Structure 1
């Protein structure tokens, strides 16, 4: 049995599952993948066997259960300090935690207006006024992180951090629905999408045989 088991849902649309998965894959932290198919009559019962909240992702570390995405990322940062999941500089680390937490609790209109759907053909989909304001806020955050701390690499803080993991599903949404993006936004989106771990996730999502979500699903 693997030391770590990460329970996730369907790769095509389970945005919260993607976050710790891509972090562990990118940072080469070995884990076994546990899977619970979402949107079925059996989903709730199957989730109750592995998750105290009935949600994914959930990390099982030799019987120790960690739920909630940010808690999983913090736990991994504690276990593997050499992976530098948070920036070493205290100011950069404070900013990274701030933007990651804002992502965890916010941007509802972007998330609902642009649902993660890796089957959907790319094309611009307008957001409502609140969604557009939230989209602009996301781009402002990305720009601030990159301008202040991104000189060492293509990610928000140069090297890959938990903040990038938290925004990875939003990156897919910008790519799917955003149309023509600002050059700096496009560069960051492309940097995340070009990660081998992200390409791996997309490839496995494409192999899923279930009908949900449809390529033009709106909700």
Structure 2
């Protein structure tokens, strides 16, 4: 049985990605939620399942432990078949991997200025030029994927997959901060937020009792 260890659903974008990956795998799993910056969190990072990295998400699969969202995706793809996570056509799969890797390592200004908070919707506010550049780059990649490989589906490569779950927290940020988007990107955000797995995560976040001031505007 897999166990996915996550932080607060309201705020932890990386936890969301790891959890969505496990959900997409279709494999049975349990989840362990550790409220961030709590005594339980500190203990888990010191001597418990987070001791290897101090990070969430962490996936425990028997004697295998992974603590990086993209590594979790690849581990699950190896077990369940890569076509569950990645497009089958080589050109589409190459683009999906490239934009997913760019998301994984990029967009520092968007991350810093627009932290994930799925329980809030703020009035529009001007973005810094650097943050706007991150938004523009993401929109350009989404547009490229949708126009080349989206077909009749609602997601970047038609069917929901790894690229979509990795960008899901970005979609929540665009809604939280009411960031203006062109039509193709706006429709994609709506599709992602309506996906049953994403909607399940957000609904659970609204039931959490914890409010962390460092993540609130």
Range into which the TM-score falls when normalised by the shorter chain:
over 0.9
Structure 2 Cα separation of the partners of residues 190 and 23 of structure 1: 19
Q: 3-state SS of the aligned residue for 1:54?
A: coil
- The aligned counterpart of 1:124 is 124
- Quick check: 1:122–1:179 contact (8 Å CA) kept in 2? no
Deviation at residue 41 of structure 1 after TM alignment: 4.9
The C-alpha deviation readout for 1:154-198, integer Å capped at 9, x for no partner, is 111101111111101000001111344211111100110001111
Give the deviation of 1:210 after TM superposition.
1.3
The equivalent of 1:39 in structure 2 is 37
**Alignment-derived partner of residue 113 in structure 2:** 113
Distance, in Å, in 1 between the alignment partners of 2:70 and 2:121 is: 30
Three-state SS of the structure 2 residue aligned to 1:205 is: helix
**Contact in 2 for aligned 1:12/1:213 (Cα 8 Å):** no
| TM-score (normalizing by structure 1) | 0.92
Assess if the C-alpha contact under 8 Å between 1:27 and 1:83 holds in 2. Answer: no
User: Normalization by structure 2: what TM-score?
Assistant: 0.93
- Aligned residue for 2:4, secondary structure, equals strand
Any idea what SS the aligned residue of 1:116 has?
coil
Task: Write the mapping of 1:1-219 to structure 2, written as runs, cut at 5 A.
Answer: 3-48=1-46, 49-51=48-50, 52-81=52-81, 84-213=84-213, 217-218=216-217
Over the aligned positions, Cα root-mean-square deviation in angstroms equals: 1.7
SS in 2 for 1:157: coil
Contact 1:124 1:176 in 2 (8 A): no
Offset from partner CA, 1:120-167 (integer Å, 9 cap, x none) = 224223221111111100000000011111104111110111111110
- Structure 1 gap segments, 5+ residues each: none
C-alpha distance in 2 between matches for 1:211 and 1:181? 29
Contact 1:117 1:213 in 2 (8 A): no
Distance 1:82 1:131, change over 3 A: closer
Question: Which blocks of at least 5 consecutive residues in structure 2 are unaligned?
Answer: none
| Equivalent residues of 1:19, 1:165 under 8 A apart | yes
Distance (Å, rounded) in 2 between the aligned partners of 1:194 and 1:212 = 26
Q: In structure 2, the residue corresponding to 1:32 is in which secondary structure?
A: strand
